[in-house]
Amino acid sequence: MSEDRSKDDNDIEIDFGAGARMQRERSAPSLSSSSSSLREPLLLTRRTNNTSQLAIVGANVCPIESLDYEIIENDLFKQDWRSRTKTEIFQYIFCKWTLALLIGLSTGLVGIFNNIAVENLAGFKLLLTNNLMLKDKYYQAFVAYAGCNMVLATAAAALCAYIAPAAAGSGIPEVKAYLNGVDAHSILAPSTLFVKIFGSIFGVAAGFVVGKEGPMVHTGACVASLLGQGGSRKYRLTWKWLRYFKNDRDRRDLITCGAAAGVAAAFRAPVGGVLFALEEAASWWRSALLWRTFFTTAVVAVVLRGFMVFCRGGKCGLFGEGGLIMFDVNSAKPTYSVPDLLAVIFLGVIGGIFGSLYNYLVDKVLRTYSIINERGPSLKVLLVITISLLTSCCSYGLPWLSRCIPCPAHLEDQCPTVGRTGNYKNFQCPPHHYNDLASLFMNTNDDAIRNLFSSGSVKEFQLSTLIVFFAAIYFLGIITYGIAVPSGLFIPVILAGASYGRLLGNLLGSLSDLDVGFFALLGAASFLGGTMRMTVSLCVILLELTNDLLMLPLVMLVLLISKTVADCFNKGVYDQIVKMKGLPYMEAHAEPYMRHLVASDVVSGPLVTFSGVEKVGNILHALKITRHNGFPVINEPPFSDAPELCGLVLRSHLLVLLKGKKFARQRVMTGTEMMSRFKAHDFAKAGSGKGVKLEDIDIKEDEMEMYVDLHPITNTSPYTVVETMSLAKAAVLFREVGLRHLLVVPKTPGRPPIVGILTRHDFMMEHILGLYPHFNPHK
């Protein structure tokens, strides 16, 4: 794979006959000469990026390219649109809704499978440890606990390191970049889906401070990508209806539905899933997509509810209601006093500070781990085993610091709790006593959150317990994210936030009438807002999790405050990871420094163009020595009175055309014959990496001197901007329309009809600073 255009400024003009033209000289604008101390993407510290856009996927540095979201209006596709009957249009609409249904069903089933597997694996491990401790076999209990964790962690790491490195992490940054137009290698491949599912199960069951919720977003996107491949010749799935989806625009919509379905499956929050896709994941949105996304998440909710009812009878092993998150936090008092509001404001400030610090430390840890991970799969596995041992020592060792507490009198729940779930774990305590710190550590993450959110006596968890648990989860979450296992950030952040929220609730017990469980929820909301910088979607997800609309005003307030405070220090965690990996993400707004530049200031050469009827040898030579994915087509006499821009032709379309070998010996237009020889679906985008490659082209020596008519496959209505347009305005147009190529045309007549091409890479700060090293972008 390659970037849209080659970016080496040292390239010289390349002569491809009548079609070749050289980029005009650039003159640097009079800007500030102060050097900028910007944070570079992680990959730029390891290799120079001067020929193509590179990014880190998993632990590998690989070239990437953009996606073709723009509608290609050439003669072949226009003929296909005109020839579509009402039946075919109905088939297309029916297939879109059918695929949305299948995405919802598949993602819901995967979510159910994940929960059943995690609950049973983790439940078996915890029951084994608990039974050994009841027999006073404490050393054997630790060996069993740490050994089970290590086996599960090694399995997850081996899957990630050797089969699909792209499955490591949460996957949300990569999905976000894909929906922005970045085609990163292997992020939606079937192997990535397989490893994401099983690696997430093993990693969460291994006791890591990670969640399965973040990976579910990536899983939903992978499921949608697999279903939206448009058929497969290899597996004989060549049904005509499936051809409608062989384009990036429809796949983008399906993957948006998949990301929303992943959130719905993870949190049982269908509306929150739609809002997550709208606020955080998708870069382009429209009302038709809103309906389909909502339909998909509704299907997920129905599937989850059906299986929950089925599993309540004990038919799913150790699986119970704990596997699918639902936290019943009921605020008995719907009114709030001034001290309550002051406490909520304080929580928001604390969450913003802790969240921004969390993002800063995660960034440093990821940069450190990248040095280890790039040395090979074996070191990745070794790092995972090391973190697993550290986590096991903390989870098993820290509860020994907590004193035993007598069970409360007249308690309806079992105390101490002998099984997997509950607030009153016995651990090393005598009968009728419990260890509150063990109730948090020696549980699944979902049950630990439920314990923190539970309402009741303020003495249920001691202040020292909440402080120790917060410190441990905070730093374990930081050092765990970045190892070679699928890992989400939602659950670690909720755990840490809930612990300091409940701590504040205990401290303010005499001043506030709000329940300590409600304080835990507000703490979790503040930390989520401080790390992820989302507001609307997080608010709705938390309300759907807790099933209490009376909390809405305070949850909104704490999210707004925490996000505002954290934005003063750094960006959201997913934005930081996108930047660090080198993914060329286009922001919704243009940077202020772009207003000092014009479009012609950043285009780079050489500019390679073709004539409307071009020699086969020239095209093949251009494809071999360049990585360009788009070539301007210039009509020249005798096909026009003067040189004029005909449009843009894609590299993938040229490869299909050359493989079809519909050539002519004379330089004449043969569009009518070509349109009878080719159909629009011949040029449709194939599935993952299965298109025509340059190595597949076999051109004989005599065919090199023949001609081919490019008019039928040339997009005659590409987006163009005048060379004097500000770069800020061009960036907004590029992002809002979802372009891959933006043609820059001259302002004055009498010059060649095109000045250059702007691609995604031209808007990146690293590229601009490479052209103008003395430019200070902060002024």
Could you tell me the domains of the chain?
Answer: 86-313 (1.10.3080.10), 338-402+444-581 (1.10.3080.10), 593-771 (3.10.580.10)
Q: What are the tokens at 649?
A: 């032709």
Per residue in 268-324, pLDDT (tens digit) is: 899 999 999 999 999 999 888 999 999 999 999 999 988 888 887 667 777 655 445
Instruction: Indicate the burial class of 25 (C-beta count within 10 angstroms; 0-12, 13-18, 19 or more).
Output: exposed
755 — pLDDT class (breaks 50, 70, 90): very high
d(CA 547, CA 327): 8
Instruction: Say if residue 457 is exposed, middle or buried (CB neighbours under 10 Å; 0-12, 13-18, 19+).
Output: exposed
Q: Are 747 and 723 in contact (CB under 8 A)?
A: yes
Q: Please state which of the ranges 80-84, 187-191, 542-546, 597-601 shows the lowest mean pLDDT.
A: 80-84
Q: Write down the pLDDT at residue 13.
A: 35
CB contact set of 237 (below 8 Å; sequence gap of 6+): 231
Residue 351 CB-half CA count within 13 A: 40
Each residue's pLDDT tens digit, 42-69: 654 443 333 357 888 777 777 888 898 8
Interatomic CA distance for residues 735 and 758, integer angstroms? 12
Tell me how far apart the alpha carbons of residues 171 and 477 are, in angstroms, rounded to a whole number.
16
Angstrom distance (rounded) from CA 529 to CA 533: 5
The share of the chain scoring above pLDDT 90, in percent, equals 49
pLDDT of residue 425: 82
Average pLDDT over residues 224-234: 76
Strand pairing of 610-611 and 630-635? parallel
pTM: 0.90
Q: Is the pLDDT of residue 157 over 70?
A: yes
Percent of the chain with pLDDT over 70: 86
Whole-number Å distance between alpha carbons of 770 and 654: 32
Lookup: tokens for 687: 């599935």
Q: What pLDDT, on the 0 to 100 scale, is given for residue 85? A: 85
Residue with tokens 């949460």: 170
The more confident residue out of 277 and 459 is 277
β-sheet with 756-758: strand ranges across:
720-722, 742-745, 756-758
- What is the rounded average pLDDT for all residues in the chain? 84
Is a pLDDT exceeding 70 seen at residue 19? no
* Residue-level pLDDT at 313: 66
Task: Output the DSSP codes for 548-594.
Answer: -GGGHHHHHHHHHHHHHHHHTT---HHHHHHHHHT--PPPSS--GGG
